[in-house]
């Protein structure tokens, strides 16, 4: 997507367009507009003869690529397409200037601007090779109007059924950060335009989870073909639970990136949080809109990288949002930072579908903006992610 620079063919049409009337006897609503590309050997006389025989008229021309804009009877489009002198026949697709998406709450999504997401979209929107991101969380409200068509229903490991509905709101917020519909004149914009979210419920309404449900959720994400698994959850402990380590080994073999929030317990003795502190997981800390460390963000040697995590706008179930902005709202936490990294990983996999998980992680880390002490540190890891740097290389 090019900002304010889309080439719209209507602006390139020659000024000497024909002004003939539509074919006699056919009302205008039975005439259609098409763009026709001609073979190099199609002379002007041949083109004119063929179009007259089709009851068509030329309304514009781009000589550089031998293209005519024409109007012709709808029932004759197929016959025109079959002519040897015709290379292609296309609809006159509608375009518009794409300076930035028209989602009304984009103005509140400071993190997208801070990370250079809009600049990155000029090169990759996530639609080239769409990626599935598994969100192991409290479920996702799949009928949210800004998530319609983006959600794949996974399993509910809390209620043991196949309806991972969100009874907490947390998972819906996380999913929107990654993949909320963009440029639809509604709500917010997710980081990846092409990502699908595999919704997996592993946490109860109160926000509590257990290792079995989370492990089962990670496993479902891997088996289902997700390239990224987002884990905006965690718990303290003295060592990494064995199931998380086993899953990390499987994920590495399958080329899956595991992204985990570092935790929000910096002011509460700052315990190590798992799975972020487990080997094989990309631990994500949180930053503010001034590229400062978020005071709640747990820190330690397991923080690999950071991302915006304060006042992050995204999707919410209507009943868990403000009446003034129904269906949307801002939350803070490393839970909001992790999906920013997952969204970037999805963009990278879309741009480079043959990349390994190690290559994606390396690009994320090497292009991060160094913050705090020079080099890697326990508060920011490699620094705050830069989507623009990562995508543009």
Active-site residue 335, yes or no? yes
pLDDT digits (tens, 9 = 90+) for 209-245: 989 889 989 999 999 999 999 999 999 989 899 999 9
Alpha-carbon distance of 97 to 106, in angstroms, equals 17
Nearest CA to 154 out of 104, 95, 100, 229 is that of 229
pLDDT digits (tens, 9 = 90+) for 313-324: 999 999 999 999
Task: Identify the pLDDT of residue 301.
Answer: 98
Alpha-carbon distance of 354 to 335, in angstroms, equals 28
Alpha-carbon distance of 361 to 282, in angstroms, equals 8
Helix (H) or strand (E) run with residue 34 in it: strand 31-38
For residue 365, report the phi and psi dihedrals to the nearest 5 degrees. -75, -45
Task: Identify the pLDDT of residue 64.
Answer: 83
Nearest CA to 123 out of 330, 389, 361 is that of 389
Q: Which of 144, 146, 156, 170 is catalytic?
A: 170
Q: Which of 68, 103, 137, 146 is catalytic?
A: 137
Confidence check: pLDDT of 390 > 60: yes
Task: Identify the pLDDT of residue 93.
Answer: 60
Confidence check: pLDDT of 91 > 90: no
CA angle 95, 343, 114 (to 5 degrees): 80
Confidence check: pLDDT of 263 > 90: yes
Structure tokens at 378: 């326990």
Alpha-carbon distance of 261 to 20, in angstroms, equals 65
**DSSP string covering 72-87, please?**
EEGGGHHHHHT-TTEE
- For the ranges 9-13, 42-46, 146-150, the lowest mean pLDDT is seen at 9-13
Rounded to the nearest angstrom, the gap between the alpha carbon of residue 251 and the centroid of all alpha carbons in its chain is 22
Active-site residue 170, yes or no? yes
Q: Which of 111, 232, 314, 335 is catalytic?
A: 335
């Amino acid at each position: 997507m090019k900002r304010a620079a889309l080439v719209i063919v209507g602006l390139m049409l020659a000024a000497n367009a024909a002004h003939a009337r539509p074919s006699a006897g056919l009302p205008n609503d039975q005439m259609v507009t098409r763009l026709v590309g001609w073979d190099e050997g199609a002379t002007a006389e041949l083109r004119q003869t063929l179009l007259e025989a089709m009851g068509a008229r030329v309304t514009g021309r781009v000589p550089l690529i031998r293209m005519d804009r024409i109007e012709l009877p709808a029932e004759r489009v197929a016959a025109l397409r079959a002519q040897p002198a015709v290379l292609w026949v296309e609809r006159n697709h509608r375009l518009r200037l794409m300076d930035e998406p028209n989602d009304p709450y984009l103005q509140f999504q400071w993190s997208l601007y801070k990370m250079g997401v809009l600049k990155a979209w000029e090169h990759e929107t996530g639609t080239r090779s769409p990626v599935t991101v598994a969100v192991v969380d409290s479920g996702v409200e799949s009928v949210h109007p800004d998530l319609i068509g983006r959600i794949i229903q996974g399993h509910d490991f809390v209620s043991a059924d196949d309806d991972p509905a969100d009874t907490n709101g947390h998972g819906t917020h996380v999913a929107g950060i990654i993949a909320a519909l963009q440029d639809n004149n509604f709500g917010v914009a997710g980081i990846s335009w092409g990502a699908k979210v595999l919704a997996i419920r592993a946490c109860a309404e109160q926000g509590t989870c257990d290792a079995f449900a989370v492990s089962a959720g990670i496993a479902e994400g891997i088996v289902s073909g997700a390239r990224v698994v987002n884990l905006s959850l965690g718990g303290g402990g003295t060592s990494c639970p064995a199931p998380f380590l086993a899953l990390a080994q499987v994920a590495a073999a399958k080329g899956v990136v595991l992204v985990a929030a570092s935790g929000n317990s910096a002011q509460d003795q700052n315990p190590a949080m798992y799975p972020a502190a487990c080997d094989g997981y990309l631990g994500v800390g949180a930053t503010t809109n001034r590229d400062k460390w978020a005071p709640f963000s747990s820190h330690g040697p397991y923080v690999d990288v950071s991302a915006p995590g304060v006042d992050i706008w995204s999707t919410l179930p209507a009943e868990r949002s403000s009446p003034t902005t129904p269906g949307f709202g801002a939350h803070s936490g490393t839970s909001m930072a992790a999906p920013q990294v997952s969204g970037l990983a999805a963009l990278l996999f879309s741009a480079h579908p043959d990349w390994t998980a190690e290559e994606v992680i390396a690009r994320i880390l090497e292009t991060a903006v160094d913050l705090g002490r020079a080099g890697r540190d326990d508060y920011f890891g490699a620094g705050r992610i830069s989507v623009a740097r990562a995508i543009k290389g």
